[in-house]
Amino acid sequence: MATTTTRIFNFSAGPAVLPLPVLEQVQRDLIALPGVGMSIMEISHRSKPFDAIIKGAEADIRALAGVPDNYRVLFLQGGASLQFSMVPMNLLTPGGTADYILTGAWSQKALKEAKKVGKTNVAATTEAEQFTRVPGQGELQLTSGAAYVHMTSNNTIFGTEWTDVPRTGDVPLVSDTSSDMFSRPIDIARHGLIYAGAQKNLGPSGVTLVIVRDDLLARSQATLPTMLSYAVQAENASLYNTPPTFGIYVLGLVVKWIRSEGGLEAMARLNERKAARLYAEIDRSGFYRGTAQKESRSRMNVTFRLGSEDLEKKFIQSATAAGFDGLKGHRSVGGIRASIYNAFPEAGVDSLVQFMQEFERTNG
Ligand SMILES: *Cc1c(COP(=O)(O)O)cnc(C)c1O
């Protein structure tokens, strides 16, 4: 049976590596939560112990990210992909226009769903440059009085990330933060709504974190399918129906772990350090070639190529044999992608850098 001593370095883009102390606590308490005598998977979502778990997760999120009082924290299902639909269904009111900033495949998918609901405008796109960067403020063609502006803070597939959020004036900014949520400080007040599927940086798949400014809840029409209404989900504190209890439990532990590690500032420093080490190796000799333009490089998903697809295949095969998993780039773009989220250990980055140098030495 596998034990913690046999864990390998997991570079998967998602579901992705979780903090070892969290997995150990889940394992230890899986059969019976302390003081409860039943598994987290066996208790009612309306029980006292679960009430403490979901309220505790929310309180930790609020403390960690400085969530202002006029924002609601929701734990939903359907992944970030359901948010592609819920955002326009709730926020794109009749007659309004939603602005979309296209920085990769996920924002394109978000736009596709919004088009089914109402009028949209592409405020900027970097598709002509194969999404190798995110646009600057000056490139945004924002609609005045738009219903909202949608962005993707980190482009998991293309390895680009915003360093700051764009200014949208009074128009609510909606951000898909699925792959960089809680990797650095976030100014919640500059957003109208933030969403993130948990399975990259926050926990297991099955739970989606949504943080929404409470005045926006008034836009949810009563005609919406009940489960798809932010207003209903907020009124019922994410308990309209059975929520993803296990996912919320683990997400709560992950947030507690981030706090115990020093919070978002500490995560930012750690993530900067890990990414800088990897990019320095990519830039060192020309054997590896980073795909994202330098000012837009992601600290979460480091994407690069080698001289040929054959060499990339060999790189991935050798890396797998050396105990690294998940380095293959997304099927749509190829190449190599090292995802190094919060929980990815620094030692793993050092090992990969060593491996890259050795691979260059024997194949360069
Ligand atoms: C993975 C990902 C998604 C899709 O998430 P699901 O939870 O699988 O729907 C959406 N946006 C971004 C930025 C992602 O990284």
Domains of the chain by start residue, with CATH: 25-260 (3.40.640.10), 263-363 (3.90.1150.10)
Known catalytic residue: 200? yes
Strand stretches in 214-353, DSSP E: 289-290, 301-305, 324-325, 336-339
pLDDT of residue 40: 98
Residues of the chain with pLDDT under 70: 1-5
pLDDT the model gives residue 82: 98
Q: What pLDDT, on the 0 to 100 scale, is given for residue 364?
A: 87
Residues 6+ apart with CB under 8 A from 356: 281, 288
Task: Please tell me the predicted confidence (pLDDT) of residue 261.
Answer: 98
Question: What string of DSSP letters covers 36-91?
Answer: T-S-GGGS-TTSHHHHHHHHHHHHHHHHHHT--TTEEEEEESSHHHHHHHHHHHHH
* Cα–Cα dist 87/220, whole Å: 10
Residue with tokens 């609901």: 117
Determine the pLDDT at residue 5: 67
Q: What is the DSSP letter of 172?
A: P
Ligand 1 in reach of 197 Cβ (< 6 A):
yes
Residue 262's contacts (CB-CB under 8 Å, 6 or more residues apart) are: none
Whether ligand 1 lies within 6 angstroms of the CB of 99 is answered as no
Report the percent of the chain where pLDDT is more than 70. Answer: 99
Per-residue pLDDT of 247-260, as tens digits, reads 999 999 999 999 99
Tokens of residue 18, six digits = 């979780």
Which residue's alpha carbon is nearest to atom 3 within ligand 1? 80
Best probe residue, ligand 1, of 86, 179, 331 (max atoms within 8 Å of C-beta)? 179
> Which listed residue (60, 99, 176, 180) is catalytic?
176
pLDDT value at residue 4:
52
Q: How confident is the model at residue 6, as a pLDDT?
A: 85
Confidence (pTM):
0.97
Q: What is the dihedral of CA 183, 187, 191, 194, to 10 degrees?
A: 30
Cα of 84 from ligand 1 centre, angstroms:
10
- Torsion angles phi and psi, residue 9, rounded to 5: -80, 120
Chain-centroid distance, C-alpha 350: 23
> How far away, in angstroms, is 80 Cα from ligand 1 center?
5
Any atom of ligand 1 within 6 Å of the Cβ of 50 = no
